[in-house]
Structure 1
Amino acid sequence: MQTKMQTIEGNVLTADGWIAGTISFADKIEEIQGSEVDPRSNNAAYILPGFIDLHVHGAGGKDTMEAGDAVQVISRMHAQHGTTSMLATTMTAPMSDLEAALQALAGVCQQRTAGSARVLGVHLEGPYINPGKLGAQPDFAHAGSLEQVKYLDAIAPIKLITLAPEVEGNLAMVSQLTALGMRVQLGHTLGTYEDGVAALENGASSFTHLYNAMSRLDHRAPGMVGAALAHANFAEIIPDLLHVHPGAIKAAMRAIPKVYCVTDSTSASGMPDGEYMLGRQVVHKCLGGVRLADGTLAGSTLTMDQALRNLVKIGLELDDASKRVSTYAADFLGLSDRGRLQVNAYADLVVLDRDLNLVAVYIEGEKIELKDA
């Protein structure tokens, strides 16, 4: 996608800190000029790295598992909220459903369409999870299969897999998956602290929606949460302030160096209250959340711009919050050319006013037309 050279100015959060100046870019950043600044000393706009969301099930009434054109709708909607790249996330489901979803994702992963976030690949959330800790996942969980993963990866690139390490055969598969270049997260698990530590030693590197759908921390049975807090370098968390209390968010960020934020967004994101689908499950959007009929939280309606505002609301400095909605997710995937504003990185950036509302979004240099702008 051809993009012309553009220059914008403001308080630019570079990889080395804040400057007051300009950033020039086409599809990649060509030049950043300016002088060091405390952005609180002026009223200029903030220019931050575009948001990266590694856990996206849906938006705009569409769910990844629907296949068809669902991911185009989803990626366009999230681009409207500053997400410049994302992983399309599947649900625990029969193999035929997973095949159909990945076949629909294959072309989108290869070619970004105008107005859409870059789909970096697939986050396979299950089916290799514990059937006793499904959360909002449908009951199609089963033990892991390396052959099955390879088959699906040949359809569309799998970048991240969530699994439960205590399920028979899954621990051995962790090292095999990491050898293939995939990231492994621990989640939807009843595993012990020891199970978590063993999985980390075998190559697992993060935790899926930390605290949610995993064995809890107790002082005599630290559980999977304890393994994360004691040993992890990365973990994803949902900062909608419904899934996790602000105090627990802060505790995680104090213990785990690179906690990054995800939306775990559903088809209900950006839609009015009502009934929606999450894989094969009917979910209900009401009171700002998404739940199953029994009240279980089932993903969220969060967007990444709101995630940023929520982090600042609970006391994080803007530069720290920015890393947690962008840079750390890129680091987790091993991407040095996204999630940071520096020369030769992709021109993925957001411009925010002083109230942290989106003013502009650029994806690989393309300015996205914001519907409410």
Structure 2
Amino acid sequence: MTPTRAPGAIPESRRTTLLTNLTRLDADGEAAESWILLDGDRIRAVDRHAAGPLPVADETVDLGGATITPGFVDLHAHGGGGFAFDDGVDAIRRGLAPHRERGTTRSVISLVANPPAALHASLAAIADLAATDPLVLGAHLEGPFLSPDNRGAHHPHFLAAPDPALVDDLLEASRGALRQITIAPELRGALDAIERLAAAGVRVALGHTTADYEQTRAGFDRGATLLTHAFNAMPGIHHRAPGPIVAAIDDARVTLEVILDGVHVHPSVARLLFDAAPGRVALVTDAMAAAGAADGPYRLGSLDVTVSHGTALLAGTTTIAGSTLTQDAALRLAITAAGLSARDAVAALTRTPARALGLDSWLGLIAPGYAADVVVWNDDWTVRRVWAAGRPVAVGAAARPADSAAAPN
């Protein structure tokens, strides 16, 4: 798989890369392809016919029959590699690195509840980064509009009701980079805020909530289209009180996030969700700083977190504080533990989250005109190579960790 390069210096942004001898796997299915041509940040052409000359490219890579998928899209992550996304541009860049080398080529940067000034600074940092890094899709405010009774790992002092002035303040501070926000629909003013945010082009998720079925349905009817980490920080399913999970299943407009790390949701329960809402489950990491890093003490926003055996808990409690998951591990667990087909597992990490963000016209498939985001896989579903926006991503031994062995709880 040694690449050959054409002579001469060519600007990296417009380099062409020809990938040959491969099998494509994406939400549209699996097929043996002759070659795929990456042209700058987009896929120019895909060919299934071995006859005829190969296109001329600046670099040709023979993949030796390996499977390739689109790059993964993570709707929900807070950090990685020892760095928290709340800590500024440099921390975001460094925290994204372990995710990118594990196949996540596009990321929404999630923020925990913090005081307004801190949120302003974080939103400004993400706006600056998104303006120069196309792999950063924008910001996700997971707080402050959360239920104090189902806040998870969010500081209670920094929660707030979604009053119109605060909603407009955060929209203005984001400079158009606010891609997603989580709201508990039962809060005072939440339904009006959902409508205002959706009208501004923000994808609204319901979560960290005590809402019942009817309150959740009301939130979806006002414009929410996502459920934040289904089953976690919300009422479960009861035969007489179906709650927010069933409300999301019942609504074809809604995408359901799932953290498939063997800790947050049992794989068999995740499989039930895939069966109940086909094509509408997006696998996310909710990763905090310890993803791709060692166990030990960390911070999530202003709260202390202890990571042991890959499980993150608020210090001194049994409250889960995000995950240490990367999306390649989620893929392996989806196939081996949840029993999904490789196609359905890949779709939940590519096409489905792209559609949830309204970006599926150019993101989430291996097809002409789509983003030149490609992951090359070994036979054991570990990452071999990655291209993001047409550029190679360095992949080292860190991209092949053992999957979490923690028992589900």
Give me the TM-score of the superposition, normalised by structure 1: 0.94
- Aligned: 1:319 with 2:343: yes
Secondary structure in structure 1 of the residue aligned to 2:262: coil
1:85 aligns with 2:106: yes
1:33 aligns with 2:67: no
Alpha-carbon offset, residue 147 of structure 1? 3.4
Alignment of 1:152-163 (within 5 A): 152-156=170-174, 157-163=177-183
Do the aligned partners of 1:184 and 1:205 also contact (CA within 8 Å) in 2? yes
Write the distance in 1 (CA, Å) between the matches of 2:26 and 2:217. 35
Tell me if structure 2 keeps the 8 A contact 1:174–1:204: yes
Identify the range of structure 1 (25-34 vs 5-14) with the bigger mean alpha-carbon deviation: 5-14
Residue deviations 1:92-118 (CA, integer Å, cap 9, x gap): 111111112112222111111xxxx81
SS of 1:47's equivalent in the other structure is strand
CA RMSD of aligned residues (A): 1.7
Is residue 11 from structure 1 mapped to residue 23 from structure 2 by the alignment?
yes
Q: Does residue 101 of structure 1 match 2:126? A: no
Aligned equivalent of 1:67: 88
Assess if the C-alpha contact under 8 Å between 1:238 and 1:264 holds in 2. yes
Matched, 1:300 2:312: no
- Contact 2:167-2:193 within 8 A present in 1 as well: no
Q: Which moved more, 1:275-284 or 1:221-230?
A: 221-230
CA contact (8 A) 1:44 1:354 kept: no
Q: Specify the alignment match of 1:222 in structure 2.
A: 242
**Match of 1:302, as an amino acid?**
L
Q: 5+ residue gaps in structure 2?
A: 1-11, 51-63, 400-409
The match for 2:392 among 336, 353, 367 is 367
CA distance in 2, matches of 1:33, 1:135: 48
After superposition, give the CA deviation of every residue in 1:68-127 in whole Å (9 maximum; x if it has no partner).
Answer: 511111122211111100100000111111112112222111111xxxx81100011010
Q: 1 CA distance for matches of 2:245 and 2:26?
A: 33
TM norm structure 2:
0.85
- Could you tell me which of 99, 102, 123 is aligned with 2:140? 123
Shift of the alpha carbon at 1:345?
A: 0.8
How far has the Cα of 1:150 moved from its partner? Answer: 3.3
Aligned counterpart, 1:170: 190
User: Alpha carbons of 1:237 and 1:14: their partners in 2 closer, same or farther (altered >3 Å)?
Assistant: closer
Between the aligned residues of both structures, percent identity stands at 37
Q: Using the TM superposition, give the Cα deviation of residue 15 of structure 1 relative to its aligned residue in structure 2, in angstroms.
A: 5.6
1:201 and 1:35 mapped to 2: Cα distance? 47
**CA deviation vs aligned residue, 1:27-74 (integer Å, no higher than 9, x gap):** 2101101169xxxxxx82111000000101011111111225111111
Q: Cα distance, 1:349 vs. partner?
A: 1.1
Q: Is contact 1:82-1:305 (8 Å) kept?
A: yes
Matched position secondary structure for 1:161: strand
Q: Which segment drifts farther, 229-238 or 246-255?
A: 229-238
Moved more, 57-66 or 5-14: 5-14
SS at match of 2:155: coil
- The aligned counterpart of 1:39 is none
Aligned to 2:169: 151
Alpha-carbon offset, residue 151 of structure 1: 2.9
> Is residue 283 from structure 1 mapped to residue 305 from structure 2 by the alignment?
yes
The secondary structure found in structure 2 opposite 1:2 is helix
Kept in 2, the 8 Å contact 1:166–1:190? The answer is yes
Q: Which moved more, 1:95-104 or 1:50-59?
A: 95-104
- Structure 1: 5+ residue stretches without partners: 37-42
Per-residue deviation, 1:7: 1.1
User: Cα–Cα, structure 1 residues 206 and 15, in superposed 2: closer, same or farther, change >3 Å?
Assistant: closer
Question: Which residue is 2:4 aligned to?
Answer: none
Tell me if 1:132 matches 2:152. Answer: no
1:120-169 alpha-carbon deviations (Å, 9 max, x no partner)? 00011010111111111111211103433333333431111100000011
1:319: how far off?
1.0
**Aligned partner of 2:74 among 31, 34, 53:** 53
The partner residue of 2:354 within 315, 324, 330 is 330
User: Once the 2 structures are TM-superposed, how far is the Cα of residue 354 of structure 1 from its aligned partner?
Assistant: 1.1
Q: Is the 8 A contact 1:133 1:190 kept in 2?
A: yes
